Amino acid sequence: MNAQQIRAQIEEIDSLPTIPPLVRKLLMTIDSPTLSLTDMGNFVAKDQALTARLLKMVNSPIYGFPGRISSVSQALILLGLNVVKGILLGVSVFELMEKTMVGLWEHSLSTAVVARGIAIKQELNDPEEVMVSALLHDIGKVAMKAKFFTKYGEALSMAEGEGMLIKDAEEKIFAINHADAGGWLCQKWNFPTNLVEPVAYHHKPSLAKHALHQAEIVHVADILVRARGFGFPGDRLIPAVSPEVWEKLLLSESDVRDLLSDMENAIQEAADLVV
């Protein structure tokens, strides 16, 4: 299959029988280009499990609004439609993440916390959007494993057996990697460019045209979490940080220690969010 054929397959993930009904309903809802705050609020309010997951996440130490958000409508007003869509997607697919590879949810959650911390240090206007893109940065792995179960298993085995990064093993077998797949899905789900590009280019942030700074932050957050050994992203290697990005972000050793310490504390305090 070529890249376009793989993309068509990836974008049909919501039709797979292995996708849980709740996730399928959510994907069908966020797929609408006319989705409004009211539509999203009504959809979530009809499902107690989804409401509970959203409020648990946004009020946890992970997210930075401990105990301050009491309703779905308040979350939508304070955080915006795209952030809430991303959080709901993240908390709804965590079981699929763990079935894809044990430790992927913890890696994704940890990367989200570190990315938010960097975004705040960089004084970005929307650190929550950066956090959401970091939470979803590896969602392409879930889609590839769900759609191409056997072949993706071969990629995981190749990464382990040959000491390769999972993205390089994916490219050998599929000619695309999880970042490509994740970017395609985020486009399909009508996320804005500043959320799509950090997912699509977290391994090559220089390719981002509209959300370069956000892509750079997710790139660094992903690697810092890998280096700290939190979770499992599909391999045990630590990719090189782009020297240009590292120089641009101006993170000191003290900054890195603080970011990782904050991440570990947040993860431990919200242990029930980590499978």
- The full DSSP string for 83-142 is HHHHHHHHHHSHHHHHHHSTTHHHHHHHHHHHHHHHHHHTT-S-HHHHHHHHHTTTHHHH
Provide the pLDDT for residue 72: 93
- Series of mean pLDDT values for 10-residue runs along the chain (275 residues): 91 85 89 92 90 89 79 92 93 84 93 96 93 96 94 96 97 97 95 96 97 98 96 95 95 96 86 62
Provide the pLDDT for residue 248: 95
101 neighbors 275 (Cβ within 8 angstroms):
no
User: For residue 55, which amino acid is it?
Assistant: L
Provide the pLDDT for residue 274: 58
Provide the pLDDT for residue 271: 66
Query: In sequence order, which residues have a C-beta less than 8 Å from that of residue 76 and are 6 or more positions away?
Result: 37, 40, 41, 84
Cα Rg of the chain (Å, integer):
17
Structural domains of the chain, count: 1
Where residue 44 sits, what CATH number does that domain have?
1.10.3210.10
Domain extent at residue 87? 3-273
Provide the pLDDT for residue 275: 47
